[in-house]
Amino acid sequence: MVGHKKKRGSKAVVNIVLGFICFIWLLPTLGLFISSFRPAPDILQTGWWKVFPHQEWKAGETLQLSKEVDLREPIEVSGKTYSDDQLKAGVAVNDHRLIWENRRARTINVQERGWEITPDLTLDNYKNVLSGKEYKLKLTDGSETVQKGTGLSQAFWNTLTIAVPATIIPVLIASFAAYAFAWLRFPGRKTLFVVIIAMLVIPLQVALIPILKDYTALGLNGSYLGIWLAHTAFGLPLVTYFMYNFISQLPKDLFESAFMDGASHFTIFSRLILPLSVPALASIAIFQFLWVWNDYLVSLVFIGNQPDVQVMSMKIADLVGSRGNDWHLLTSAAFISMLMPLTIFFLLQKYFVKGLMGGSVKG
């Protein structure tokens, strides 16, 4: 009985710690998400939590001081004295706060604390960051300025055009290779497998310049085919290793029965291996897609930084560099870039854990 209570207590502690970690992890994301829907002046003036009910000082009665009051001396207000700095920052008196309303005119505002909510949300941030059209932006001082939209929609489709083939091609090739390494017998099989796995420890940066020279000679630089081949080459070692661990653990009886029925290797691969490997394929496809989608360096080297071919990571990096204060655009751009990876993950999540665990236990 005592041991059971200790076990329940330990489980509760673990759940509380995990809940706290998840809360800390999700809190900045929640703030970023809310900020992406707030108008630019609100983002620059107040925090994202202001969209929820909160207490705030509200303007109340105005006190008029004599024009002869020397602001360099202690200032008397309602029988008490305060310094100029205190009135600039605001000084709390019971349930009120005294703060300069117009220092030049010698007027002080007596503010009262009350509940307030500012649910002023808009989709303009997303419209402006997706389009390349000009739009008016209202500043905190009430003035307006004209800015041009980011045109992120083109970068979104460019990234999707690169990411989908650069995920399907290496996963398909690696599945063929993993089947060969697991169930075919040919000279140099183990040596070749070790060489492929050893490429996991080689930084891809060392291969960029040699490949770029070859691409320039072949006319592949700046083309989608070139970036597809680059991502395929850099992703093959990990994908091959992952698929090998899954395919090598499939029951041997399946292959023996298929061979006895006269099935060829291609038939076995297409009719048996691929259907059985769907969880593993989905899991490694998620990893490969996320890596390609968030890639900056490989795309910059092999496809360039021209506006018509820029990917999402380049466009957002340019946005940070040129508009570091425009949080209304940065927050919305961040969530647009997260849209496709989240969609892929939720569509394939039922295979994710199953695929990661596949091949980890024999029998």
Confidence of residue 326 (pLDDT cuts 50, 70, 90): low
β-pair partners for 62: 109
Confidence of residue 362 (pLDDT cuts 50, 70, 90): very low
Q: What share of the chain is helix, strand, coil (3-state, %, to 5)?
A: 60, 15, 25
| Alpha helices, H only, 36-148 | 40-45, 84-89, 124-130
Whole-angstrom distance, CA of residue 154 vs CA of residue 311? 8
Listed residue (186, 193, 190, 182) closest to 255, CA to CA: 182
Kindly report the three-state secondary structure assignment for every residue of 8-41: HHHHHHHHHHHHHHHHHHHHHHHHHHHHCCCCHH
Helix (H) or strand (E) holding 142: none
Would you tell me the crossing angle of helices 327-357 and 2-35 to the nearest 10 degrees? 140
Whole-angstrom distance, CA of residue 273 vs CA of residue 271? 6
Q: pLDDT at residue 142 above 80? A: no
Q: Residue 221 phi/psi, 5° resolution?
A: -65, 135
pLDDT digits (tens, 9 = 90+) for 56-102: 777 778 888 877 777 777 887 777 888 878 888 888 877 788 888 88
Average pLDDT, integer, range 118-131: 81
Q: What is the pLDDT, as a whole number, of residue 357?
A: 56
| Alpha helices, H only, 248-326 | 252-260, 265-268, 274-276, 278-293, 297-302, 312-322
Average pLDDT, integer, range 290-294: 92
Confidence of residue 361 (pLDDT cuts 50, 70, 90): very low
Q: pLDDT at residue 249 above 70? A: yes
Average pLDDT, integer, range 229-233: 93
Q: pLDDT at residue 175 above 90? A: yes
Q: pLDDT at residue 1 above 60? A: no
Confidence of residue 339 (pLDDT cuts 50, 70, 90): confident
How is residue 197 written in tokens?
A: 């796995």
Whole-angstrom distance, CA of residue 348 vs CA of residue 310? 28
Average pLDDT, integer, range 187-214: 89
Average pLDDT, integer, range 317-328: 66
What percent of the chain has a predicted confidence (pLDDT) above 90?
19
Q: Tell me if 69 sits within 8 A of 82, measured CB to CB.
A: no
How is residue 73 written in tokens?
A: 């001396």
Rounded to two decimals, the pTM is 0.74
Residue the block writes with tokens 């009120």: 96
In DSSP notation, 214-253 reads: HHHHHT-TTSHHHHHHHHHHHHHHHHHHHHHHHHTTS-HH
pLDDT digits (tens, 9 = 90+) for 20-68: 999 998 898 888 888 888 887 777 778 888 888 877 777 778 888 877 7
Average pLDDT, integer, range 240-255: 87
Whole-angstrom distance, CA of residue 303 vs CA of residue 319? 19
Q: What is the pLDDT, as a whole number, of residue 358?
A: 52
Q: What is the mean pLDDT of the chain?
A: 82
Whole-angstrom distance, CA of residue 215 vs CA of residue 79? 82
Whole-angstrom distance, CA of residue 143 vs CA of residue 135? 14
Confidence of residue 138 (pLDDT cuts 50, 70, 90): low
Q: What is the pLDDT, as a whole number, of residue 228?
A: 94
3-state secondary structure of 256: helix
